[in-house]
Amino acid sequence: MQTVIPVVPGLNASEDCLVLNIWSPSSPSNGSKAVMFWIHGGTLVLGSIFQDYYDGSVLATHDVVIVSTNYRLGLFGFLYGDREDAPGNVGFYDQLLALKWVRDNIHAFGGDRDQITIFGEDAGSWSVSAHILSPLSKGLFKRAIMQSGAHMYNKDRDAVSKLEALSDAKQLAKRLNCSETEDWLQCLRKVKANELSMYSKNPTFPVLGNQFLPISAQKAFADNKFNLDIDLMAGVTRDEGSVFMSGFVPNIHNMTLQDFMAGVKALDVMYHGIDIQEISEYYHQNSSWSLFLRYAFSGLTGDIIVVCPTYTFAKQFAIACDINTMGICHGMDIPFVFGLPFIRPGYLPKDVDLSKRVMDMWTKFAKTGCGSVDRRGGVRG
């Protein structure tokens, strides 16, 4: 896979990166504001909280405290050395440290430590899913939002095994002239950071079988070994795969069936266990039309990299939580449709608010029909 330099245009790279941004509402508060903790994306290789579109100032006007955190990326955050001083996944530990800091200090910015929502997109969403799975993150957040990504791969194996990750690290050391007879990790630490960064794989994957991620997502859900005492919201965009295609098929504008098949094989090298023939036929439908193949491959890459992992993670989370808590059962929507929280005791203020919004939606639909409903299933007006 290609190597990249983990910097963002217009920003400087630095090893001194473990910092937070905080935006707090200007209204008075005694530490009662909900907190939203953003984890940026970038395939665990790129990104920074100082990018313009991660400016939380507007979002904070919705009466919440916004926090964003940087973390180590690429080889600096995820190189695995099979030893205590190189355990892998240290980028996740950076996020964990930031989350603990927020729990301990966010009251000084008007935030409620018991009302923390972690949210992220792309690798930020992978990170959110990793914190849902990690025993080290238990109790540090109340809600989670996953935008386009999840740490959820082939059920029989992870994207990168510990053995593969260790082999990659040692091969890198050899490539950088570190002798096998010396401490290869210490040798790598002497390499200049900007030179070492050029060898980070894109994407970078975490490893399983360590303290932060002891088991796979599939096993965690099967054995109820995940943080189920949270609320989860997850989603994807319509055309997820369009930005990933060129990484697997360089000739996307004049794609042939041969290009398509080569792209599927390249995906299998990274994500493992793909039935190449069956998957290919399902998506390309034996068409030779270049534009159709392009859209088909976009759908395929989006499904494999983003849509299916995100959907499957959310579904398994919901199933496991329903088994333990019985979930939101049949008929539980009726009190909100008829406004019972307004006239009966025992409901919370948030129940009153939800009932008002549900009644608004139902009555607007009754008045204006489908014209009041947008394509996402919400109600306009």
Task: Establish if 381 belongs to a structural domain.
Answer: no
Chain centroid, CA 346 distance in Å: 36
Quote the pLDDT of residue 30.
75
> Which of 186, 214, 235 is the last residue before a domain boundary?
235
Distance CA 13, CA 10 (A): 10
Start-to-end CA span in the chain (Å): 48
Quote the pLDDT of residue 327.
52
Closest CA to 17 of 46, 37, 43: 46
- For the chain, how big is the Rg over CA atoms in Å? 23
pLDDT at 378 over 50: no
Residue written as token pair 């189920």: 228
User: What's the domain count of the chain?
Assistant: 3
Q: Are strands 231-235 and 143-147 parallel, antiparallel or unpaired?
A: parallel
Which band of pLDDT confidence, cut at 50, 70 and 90, is reported for residue 366? Answer: low
pLDDT at 370 over 60: no
Quote the pLDDT of residue 372.
45
Quote the pLDDT of residue 168.
94
Of residues 368 and 112, more confidently modeled: 112
Task: Establish if 158 belongs to a structural domain.
Answer: yes
In a 10 Å sphere around its CB, with 0-12 CB exposed, 13-18 middle and 19+ buried, how is residue 127 labelled?
buried
The structure tokens listed for 186 are 């210490």
9-18, 53-62, 217-226, 297-306: the lowest-pLDDT one: 9-18
Which band of pLDDT confidence, cut at 50, 70 and 90, is reported for residue 53? Answer: confident
Quote the pLDDT of residue 331.
59
Of residues 368 and 186, more confidently modeled: 186
Which band of pLDDT confidence, cut at 50, 70 and 90, is reported for residue 43? Answer: very high
Beta-bridge partners for 39: 69, 120
Beta strands in the chain (DSSP E): 3-4, 20-23, 33-39, 64-69, 80-83, 86-87, 111-121, 143-147, 200-201, 231-235
Q: pLDDT tens digits, residue range 171-223?
A: 999 999 998 767 999 999 999 988 888 898 889 999 999 999 999 999 999 99
Which band of pLDDT confidence, cut at 50, 70 and 90, is reported for residue 88? Answer: very high
Average pLDDT (353-357) is 91
Q: Are 87 and 210 in contact (CB under 8 A)?
A: yes
Distance CA 77, CA 169 (A): 13
pLDDT at 4 over 50: no
In a 10 Å sphere around its CB, with 0-12 CB exposed, 13-18 middle and 19+ buried, how is residue 135 labelled?
middle
Domain ranges, residue 351: 335-372
Average pLDDT (64-92) is 94
pLDDT at 381 over 50: no
Secondary structure letter of residue 11 according to DSSP: S
- 42 and 185 assigned to the same domain: yes
Domain of 12, CATH number, reads: 3.40.50.1820
Question: Residue 189: what are its φ and ψ, rounded to 5°?
Answer: -70, -15
pLDDT at 380 over 90: no
Quote the pLDDT of residue 8.
66
By three-state DSSP, how is residue 131 classified?
Answer: helix
Task: Establish if 380 belongs to a structural domain.
Answer: no
CA distances from 378 to 236, 357, 368 (A): 16, 11, 14
pLDDT at 330 over 60: no
Average pLDDT (96-108) is 96
Distance CA 79, CA 166 (A): 8
Q: pLDDT tens digits, residue range 334-343?
A: 788 778 899 8
The structure tokens listed for 381 are 């007006």
- 35 and 129 assigned to the same domain: yes
Which band of pLDDT confidence, cut at 50, 70 and 90, is reported for residue 303? Answer: very high
Angle (CA) 228-231-235 rounded to 5° is 110
- 174 and 267 assigned to the same domain: no
> Which of 192, 214, 235 is the last residue before a domain boundary?
235
**Total-model pTM:** 0.82
Task: Establish if 262 belongs to a structural domain.
Answer: yes
Distance CA 169, CA 175 (A): 10
Closest CA to 173 of 161, 160, 191, 194: 191
Task: Establish if 85 belongs to a structural domain.
Answer: yes
Task: Establish if 215 belongs to a structural domain.
Answer: yes
- 144 and 283 assigned to the same domain: no
> Which of 204, 235, 266 is the last residue before a domain boundary?
235
- Residue 300: in which H helix or E strand, if any? helix 290-302
Q: Are 165 and 204 in contact (CB under 8 A)?
A: no
Mean of the per-residue pLDDT values of the chain: 86
Distance CA 75, CA 45 (A): 8
pLDDT at 142 over 80: yes
Distance CA 203, CA 216 (A): 19
- 97 and 16 assigned to the same domain: yes
Closest CA to 316 of 211, 225, 184, 194: 225
